[in-house]
Structure 1
């Protein structure tokens, strides 16, 4: 079958997010054709280029989200009136969604949002791009009328002109996919299935392909985009009216995506709960854990334990969400119970904020252990060390895990804990804080403590350091669980089955006609895209038990011609 793979800021760009699992998916499902439709987030990303693509990728279309192309389209009177109607309806629904009163997210409002969204898309398809209209005074006035209308919530009524301009600019950026030329019969309309690799803008082209061409939509969310928008719209980022209206738009868009998708595949139970709270039906949700390469950790996981006794290891990207401050305070408690214990922090800082945080953690370590400060000229043994992958203590990532008797995670915010799964592949016992999908991933193969609780974290670490047999049992169970649930193979197999399930419920929409103009039933089944040798239908006689309505049509409509040689 032909898959339209939709990405935002990710695959197939070299520096894209979540590009690794997309590449593994495409390469693992080589029996299908993939058309890539990628939205880029910046000029640098487009300049860096694309990763090498396998032969099953037959087409790559890209479009920028970071800039508004000047399409030069100027609407006439009727298109302007139609735009004002659709945009005004969209703004009215967003104002209703800005009211936190329960019941505001009704089915009627969801239908009105969808109608306004698809109305704008139809206008862009018929008249040209929406860029100029979305940046026009008409859009700002429509927002102002909706905010000043009787019954509008107080938060919306308080919006001033700068707030309205900020909301209009945000909507213009978010709605740029409506103006793309991706929805004709020779682009996404020709796909058997659209697979959006994230919610939000990445799923918007899939919504339009479903609306215009009835192409079924599959949405995968390994990180909930709606949650990311909520976190980005903090009190210090914008005025209350702007935050309320923008949050209303993204929640409405997420609800529309969840309502129209054939199947949703969250990466963990945490993302699944978000989808259900936004109206997704439980019967259409399939949890598919991210697939990770277990082979690179097999040598450590299958070898005898050669870890350094009493050593705790933390591996990851250094940033405030990882809460290394609590880990350092917990390790001070560990040292009082186990004076020979050591803590090794392996990781590089994430951006300027991570660099500053790393410096703060180094200063705290020096303060907590003043007689054993970490530095190049320190005499004696240092209980806390900071290093990166490639250093003498951690030449490779597997060896970083191999050197620790216990692997520790202290995060307060976590999505899918990749580093925790890597430790499980290595057969290491773990102590983690209850954040994100940690409990779901670890199961019963490690110790889990509340976040921001150094005492509980220290007690769990001491318990494992003093019990080597328990560490060995937990490490073996963790490796077995990771190999069963979190490998690339299980991820590819899960999506292969979901693809077939969707297509079985959503038959091919293309109509093939014979020489007389009559339709040919079963002439273009989805399975005809599978590679292999297909016999010439004209060389085979009609079977005896052929209904009268088939008589006179080419033999390609018969069952043997549809199934092919390998199916008989």
Structure 2
């Protein structure tokens, strides 16, 4: 079958989110065809280029989220009236105070944009009507970029905020707040202006698979609206939760309006998706609280390559019986401060214990936090800190993968008697699952999906509790037989649940189930106009000598505001950004393999 893979800030770019997962999925399902529709987040990401693409990727079409050139579309009177009507309706829905008392957010009719207030069906219909109305206008007129930047959009927001029965925060919106909301909606609605929604674009795929919610899923919604293409949405981190937790410095009006928009967009995405595949039960609970139908949700754990950890996992005797290891990105959410205080208690009970902190900082904030942790370690352990390979090294070391003795992630766990996770915020704990693949006993804080991942194969303590963390670590350091039992059980659990193979098999089954329950959309007719039910036999979808792949694909045309560039003509990075000689710069490109 032909799958439209929708990504935001990840695959096929070298840097970004979910890139490795998508690459493994595409390569593991080599008997399917993939068309990749990708949003980039920055110029640096585009300059970094693409990962090598397997032959089953038929085309890649990209569009930037970080910039948009004026589309040059000038609306006539009727188009301006349509835009004012649909955008005004959208703004009115975002500002409307839904009737009724607060209720359980897990209820099917709860509105995630209003913190659990029952969502009137009429309000949901108004939002979707406005959203798809704008999409149809963009398709008819060639784009919305200029219109979304116009004074008409700002004035529509202002009228909506000044209307009766609106959200109290919206009523207090100032001009600067309106401009900020309009700018964010301009970015969020940018996918409506793309030329992807044609018969030879997303209309030609058998299903759309969005690698995240939010912006990445929006093209899938439009493909369903225009062509009835089914949609599968995978969320390893619930995008709506991210929107709730960001923009803490914004005014109440901005936060309220943007939360309403993203809440209603998530509700529509969950309503239209055939299946939702969260990566863990923690994400699943968030989806259900945000309006997802429980019957549509299928938990599919992220898949990891177990091969690099095989040798370490089968050789538990390599572990140093006195060493604790922490791995990950260094940032405040990992709470290394509590870990260092806990290790002070561990050293008091076990003077020979060592702690290896392995990982680099996550951005400027992470770098400052790492320096703070180094200073704290120097105060708590005045005998010194440094590399465990240095003479006279102290009990705590700060290292990075790629340094001495750390060629890969598996080496980080090889010397560990116990692997520690001390986070206060966590989604799916990838490092913890890697430690389990390496057959190491673990001590973790009870956050995110930790309990679900660990099961009964490790010790779990409350977050921000150094004493409990220290006691759990000491109990395992003093009991090598228990460490061995827990490590073996952890490896068996990880091999059963968290490998690439189980992840690919799960999505393969979902693809088949979705296509099997989706009615045929393209009916071929004979000379008299009657349908030919067997004109496209099932074996035509299986590559082989009986089918000409090139002739099966619909003809491609060059979009009015994009350039069709062969992938081999330019490097992957430049193929996504460089214009063809004689053509003007374009915000979106297509590369065909």
Fold-level similarity (TM above 0.5): yes
| Alpha-carbon contact 1:312-1:404 (below 8 Å) kept | yes
Q: In 2, distance between residues paired with 1:491 and 1:417?
A: 16
Structure 1 residues 461, 54: CA separation in 2 closer, same or farther (over 3 Å shift)?
Answer: same
| Alpha-carbon contact 2:322-2:354 (below 8 Å) kept | yes
User: 2:235 matched to which residue of 1?
Assistant: 221
Can you give the 5+ residue segments of structure 2 that lack an aligned partner in the other structure? Answer: 99-112, 549-593
User: 2:157 matched to which residue of 1?
Assistant: 143
User: Where in structure 2 are the equivalents of 1:276-295 lying within 5 Å?
Assistant: 276-295=288-307
Q: In 2, distance between residues paired with 1:273 and 1:395?
A: 38
Q: In 2, distance between residues paired with 1:62 and 1:179?
A: 13
Q: In 2, distance between residues paired with 1:19 and 1:435?
A: 25
- Asked if 1:449 corresponds to 2:461, the answer is yes
| Alpha-carbon contact 1:346-1:394 (below 8 Å) kept | no
Partner of residue 428 from structure 2, selected from 396, 416, 419:
416
User: 2:247 matched to which residue of 1?
Assistant: 233
Q: In 2, distance between residues paired with 1:535 and 1:214?
A: 26
Question: 1:110-150: per-residue Cα shift (whole Å, max 9, x none)?
Answer: 11111100000000000121011111111111111110001
User: Where in structure 2 are the equivalents of 1:487-506 lying within 5 Å?
Assistant: 487-506=499-518
Q: In 2, distance between residues paired with 1:44 and 1:240?
A: 32
Partner of residue 410 from structure 2, selected from 398, 416, 420:
398
Partner of residue 187 from structure 2, selected from 173, 176, 180:
173
Q: In 2, distance between residues paired with 1:527 and 1:507?
A: 17
Q: In 2, distance between residues paired with 1:266 and 1:283?
A: 13
- Asked if 1:92 corresponds to 2:92, the answer is yes
| Alpha-carbon contact 1:96-1:104 (below 8 Å) kept | no
Q: Alignment partner of 1:314: what SS? A: strand
User: 2:35 matched to which residue of 1?
Assistant: 35
Q: In 2, distance between residues paired with 1:232 and 1:527?
A: 49
User: 1:68 matched to which residue of 2?
Assistant: 68
The CA deviation at 1:16 is 2.6
User: 1:53 matched to which residue of 2?
Assistant: 53
RMSD: 1.8
- Asked if 1:121 corresponds to 2:135, the answer is yes
Q: In 2, distance between residues paired with 1:32 and 1:393?
A: 40
| Alpha-carbon contact 1:503-1:526 (below 8 Å) kept | no
Question: 1:43-98: per-residue Cα shift (whole Å, max 9, x none)?
Answer: 11122222111111111111111112211011111111111111111111111269
- Asked if 1:161 corresponds to 2:175, the answer is yes
More contact order relative to length (CA 8 Å, sep ≥ 6): 2
User: 1:21 matched to which residue of 2?
Assistant: 21
User: Where in structure 2 are the equivalents of 1:340-489 lying within 5 Å?
Assistant: 340-374=352-386, 380-489=392-501
Structure 1 residues 230, 97: CA separation in 2 closer, same or farther (over 3 Å shift)?
Answer: farther
Can you give the 5+ residue segments of structure 1 that lack an aligned partner in the other structure? Answer: 537-568
The CA deviation at 1:514 is 2.2
The CA deviation at 1:103 is 3.0
Question: 1:459-505: per-residue Cα shift (whole Å, max 9, x none)?
Answer: 11011111111100000000000000000000000000000000111
Question: 1:522-541: per-residue Cα shift (whole Å, max 9, x none)?
Answer: 323565312235499xxxxx
Q: In 1, distance between residues paired with 2:116 and 2:18?
A: 35
The CA deviation at 1:370 is 1.9
- Asked if 1:206 corresponds to 2:220, the answer is yes
Q: In 1, distance between residues paired with 2:49 and 2:258?
A: 32
The CA deviation at 1:378 is 9.1
Q: In 1, distance between residues paired with 2:247 and 2:509?
A: 38
Structure 1 residues 378, 529: CA separation in 2 closer, same or farther (over 3 Å shift)?
Answer: closer
| Alpha-carbon contact 1:75-1:127 (below 8 Å) kept | yes
Q: In 1, distance between residues paired with 2:224 and 2:547?
A: 33
Question: 1:245-282: per-residue Cα shift (whole Å, max 9, x none)?
Answer: 01111111111100110000000111111111111111
Q: Alignment partner of 1:14: what SS? A: coil
| Alpha-carbon contact 2:97-2:165 (below 8 Å) kept | no
Structure 1 residues 280, 51: CA separation in 2 closer, same or farther (over 3 Å shift)?
Answer: same
| Alpha-carbon contact 1:346-1:386 (below 8 Å) kept | yes
Q: In 2, distance between residues paired with 1:403 and 1:34?
A: 41
Q: Alignment partner of 2:444: what SS? A: strand
Structure 1 residues 97, 327: CA separation in 2 closer, same or farther (over 3 Å shift)?
Answer: farther
Residue-pair matches, total: 534
Q: In 2, distance between residues paired with 1:163 and 1:525?
A: 56
User: 2:198 matched to which residue of 1?
Assistant: 184
User: 2:9 matched to which residue of 1?
Assistant: 9
| Alpha-carbon contact 1:508-1:525 (below 8 Å) kept | no
The CA deviation at 1:357 is 0.7
User: 1:266 matched to which residue of 2?
Assistant: 278
| Alpha-carbon contact 1:229-1:250 (below 8 Å) kept | yes
Partner of residue 103 from structure 1, selected from 112, 117, 130:
117
Q: In 1, distance between residues paired with 2:23 and 2:352?
A: 45
Structure 1 residues 525, 502: CA separation in 2 closer, same or farther (over 3 Å shift)?
Answer: farther
TM-score, reference length from structure 1: 0.91
Over alpha carbons, which structure has the higher Rg? 1
Q: Alignment partner of 1:415: what SS? A: coil
Q: Alignment partner of 1:370: what SS? A: coil
The CA deviation at 1:327 is 0.1
Greater alpha carbon shift after TM alignment, 304-313 vs 161-170: 304-313
User: 1:317 matched to which residue of 2?
Assistant: 329
Q: In 2, distance between residues paired with 1:101 and 1:170?
A: 21
